Amino acid sequence: MEERSRCIITGTNASKLPLTFSENTDTFRKIMTQLRNAIGTVFLAGVDEFYTDCSYGFSLWGAETVLSLMKDNDIRLYVVYPYENQPADYAENWRDRFYKIHELCSDVIPMFLEYDELEDTRTFSKESPEALIKKAADFMLDDCGRLIFVGDPTGDYIYEQAVKRNYDIITLASQGGSPAADEGVWGGAPL
Give the pLDDT confidence of 110-169 residue by residue, as tens digits: 776 565 556 665 656 666 778 878 888 999 999 899 999 998 888 899 999 999 999 999
Confidence at residue 178, expressed as pLDDT on a 0 to 100 scale: 41
pTM above 0.85, yes or no: no
Q: Is residue 133 part of a domain?
A: no
- The domain tally of the chain equals 1
Q: Is residue 11 part of a domain?
A: yes
Three-class DSSP category at 98? helix
Q: Do 99 and 87 form a contact (C-beta atoms < 8 A)?
A: yes
In CATH, what number is assigned to the domain containing residue 102? 3.40.50.450
What residues contact 84, with CB distance under 8 A and at least 6 apart?
Answer: 110, 112, 124
Q: Is residue 45 part of a domain?
A: yes
Confidence at residue 119, expressed as pLDDT on a 0 to 100 scale: 61
Q: Is residue 157 part of a domain?
A: yes
Q: Do 142 and 113 form a contact (C-beta atoms < 8 A)?
A: no
Domain range for 59 is 5-15+23-127+139-172
Q: Is residue 146 part of a domain?
A: yes
Burial class (CB in 10 A: 0-12, 13-18, 19+), 118: exposed
Confidence at residue 187, expressed as pLDDT on a 0 to 100 scale: 34
Q: Is residue 185 part of a domain?
A: no
Q: Is residue 186 part of a domain?
A: no
Confidence at residue 183, expressed as pLDDT on a 0 to 100 scale: 33
Top pLDDT among 85 and 98 is at 98
Q: Is residue 188 part of a domain?
A: no
pLDDT digits (tens, 9 = 90+) for 58-91: 889 999 999 999 988 899 999 998 767 777 788 8
pLDDT digits (tens, 9 = 90+) for 17-68: 665 567 778 888 888 899 999 999 999 999 999 999 888 888 899 999 999 9
